[in-house]
């Protein structure tokens, strides 16, 4: 079972790299980091694999991002927070994300090329 879970997480990390690179091509901007929020942010292996594969720092958390976003939106609509920037500032003060830094990047380039060939995802190149 452990191997199946790892295979699924590696597949997610490779897909995250693909999507990130395609977004960068579309908008013409390099994204130096990736944020994983919600339940996936609790999975240390997923976060580390994503940092490795994507060659970027991953920031994980908060776990309850959806509920937090809902509450902040309501606070803005009630006038308790003045705008989105104030809400973001509040989140940054209250929730410290866990950081994951890239390791073993060269290995992941090889895996990524195999991923692209076998999935035929490389459509924007």
Would you say 13 and 56 are in contact if contact means Cβ atoms under 8 Å apart?
no
Confidence check: pLDDT of 124 > 60: no
**Mean pLDDT, to the nearest integer, of 58-86?**
95
CB burial of 15-26 (b: ≥16 within 10 Å; e: otherwise) equals ebbbebbeeeee
- Taking Cα atoms as reference points, which of 76, 31, 77 lies closest to residue 55? 31
Confidence check: pLDDT of 123 > 60: no
What is the pLDDT, as a whole number, of residue 120? 77
Could you tell me the pLDDT band of residue 64, with boundaries at 50, 70 and 90? very high
- Quote the tokens at residue 14: 């490779």
> Considering only 42-46, 82-86, 120-124, which range has the smallest mean pLDDT?
120-124
- Mean pLDDT rounded to a whole number for the chain: 93
What is the pLDDT, as a whole number, of residue 121? 63
Residue owning tokens 């290995």: 107
């Amino acid at each position: 079972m452990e191997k199946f879970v790892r295979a699924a997480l590696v597949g997610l990390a490779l897909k995250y790299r693909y999507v990130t690179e395609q977004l960068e091509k579309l908008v013409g901007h390099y994204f130096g980091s990736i944020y994983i929020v919600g339940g996936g942010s609790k999975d240390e292996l997923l976060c580390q694999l994503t940092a490795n594969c994507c060659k970027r720092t991953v920031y994980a958390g908060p776990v309850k991002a959806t509920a937090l976003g809902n509450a902040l939106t309501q606070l803005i609509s009630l006038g308790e927070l003045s705008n989105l920037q104030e809400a973001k500032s509040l989140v940054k003060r209250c929730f410290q994300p866990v950081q994951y830094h890239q390791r073993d990047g060269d290995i992941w380039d090889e895996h990524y090329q195999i991923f692209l060939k076998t999935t035929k995802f490389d459509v924007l190149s």
